[in-house]
Amino acid sequence: MKDLVNAALEQGDYHTAADLLQTWKQQQPGDPWLLLTIGRYQEATERWESAEKTYLRLLRQVTLPKLMTLARQGIQRVQTHLLQAREEALETVRAIPGSEDPGILCLKPVQGEARTAAAQGLAKVMQMDPYMARLQLPSKAWRLYRVGPIGELQYLGQSLIQAQTPAFWVKYADLKAVQVFRVQYFRSVSPQGSVVCQNDQGQLGEIGFQWDEVTQGVRGLLPLFESVVDRGPWGEILRKDKTQDYAEVLDLHFHGRRCVLRICDRTYQFRQGNPLPNGDRIPDQQTSTRPQWNALVSYIQGKIQGHRHDQFASFGEGAVEFVDLMPSMAHRIPLVRFKETNWDPAFHLYSSLHFLQYSEGREGLSQPG
């Protein structure tokens, strides 16, 4: 039967080969040569992934050296074909105008039973060990996974989605286009909001809005570093940067106006007045504005009807490693630092990604990020 099937495959008569395989399976279901021939049939009909699974299954079931060698050769043929097909697809993508523009690829968080399939998909597409893929798969927040030409990232992203690994990709130019106004203070909060803010040129202006225009809020803590002197293990003097505190930033997204209002606890001007209801009852200490800030944030979050994103810490830990690989981008974080840090552009990136994902309708409001 094996010779008959192989003869039909050589002649390209796949219908006859399929009928012979069916008969063979009914007569001798335990014949190990049957599984090998099924793999060859799947190869001939370009069902490459099925063929690879069949050969792997054969390797687990047999101990006959000749069969094991043929199964390994089949796996090698399939993997070589898949690699060639991948390179050809990438070459096609690279030829498309604009495909070389910079972009980023992110993985979406996966929880529960779906993690197994998502990790397998990541391992397959990125050609890595399944265990390592599971470690790289996020569970709480987005993970900035790769930066590079947008054409290649789109190809990888589409391959990941087909392999049940949630992902998305964004052009750097779209990130750069997100307009951010830095809020100095609220002039009023009820019945509508009104803020005094600065644009990119440092010009002051006032923006009034209805609270139902706020589509979502993004909140994050940015580490504040100080240069400190310490002693090493041999008593030598070392100077290092240590996190001494955190600055809190809250972004309000207005997709109807295509802009973001950015509020920071370190630069908010409480001396301009407190427009909150019952604001005069908030403790006002000369040494700290924390009670006023907490009250303001609590009030604002109570007004946001859309989703609130607060997983920046998880996203930022990985994103800071990629910032230096990306084109420079004005992060619009109103903090005065003695030395630049990648945490500021990482937050701007996190907020901008949420802005773009909401705009394109590819993110459910209940999904973390």
Which tens digits make up the pLDDT trace of 241-298? 787 889 999 999 999 999 999 999 999 998 886 788 766 666 655 556 888 899 999 9
Q: Where are the domains of the chain?
A: 2-94, 102-174, 178-360
Q: What CA–CA distances, in Å, run from 210 to 182, 297, 338, 359, 366? A: 18, 17, 38, 19, 23
Instruction: Report the SS3 class of residue 203.
Output: coil
Question: Exposure pattern of 9-46 as b/e (b: 16+ CB <10 Å)?
Answer: beeeeeeebeebbeebeeeeeeebbbbbbbbbbbbbee
Q: Taking the CA of residue 124 as centre, how many other CA atoms within 13 Å lie in the half-sphere pointing to its CB?
A: 18
Token pair of 45 as six digits: 């009909």
Say which amino acid occupies 110.
V
Element of type H or E holding 263: strand 259-264
Which tens digits make up the pLDDT trace of 28-85? 888 888 888 898 888 889 888 888 888 888 888 888 888 889 889 988 898 888 778 8
Say which amino acid occupies 327.
P
Question: Exposure pattern of 102-129 as b/e (b: 16+ CB <10 Å)?
Answer: bbbbbbbbbeeeebeebbbbbbbbbeee
Instruction: Report the SS3 class of residue 354.
Output: helix
The whole-model pTM stands at 0.79
pLDDT at site 187: 93
Element of type H or E holding 261: strand 259-264
Q: Which CATH superfamily is domain 2-94 in?
A: Tetratricopeptide repeat domain (1.25.40.10)
pLDDT at site 355: 96
pLDDT at site 247: 94
Token pair of 258 as six digits: 């295509």
pLDDT at site 239: 67
308-309/216-231 β-pairing? parallel
| pLDDT interval class at 2 (50, 70, 90) | confident
pLDDT at site 283: 62
CB 193 within 8 A of CB 276: no
In whole angstroms, give the CA distance from residue 100 to residue 93.
9
Task: Choose among 257, 267, 98: nearest CA to 178.
Answer: 257
Task: Choose among 342, 352, 327: nearest CA to 179.
Answer: 352
Q: Which fold has domain 102-174?
A: Ribosomal Protein L30; Chain: A, (3.30.1390)
pLDDT at site 300: 93
CB 166 within 8 A of CB 110: yes
Neighbours of 174 (CB within 10 A): 17
Which tens digits make up the pLDDT trace of 209-227? 999 999 999 999 999 987 7
CB 329 within 8 A of CB 176: yes
Q: Is the pLDDT of residue 310 over 90?
A: yes
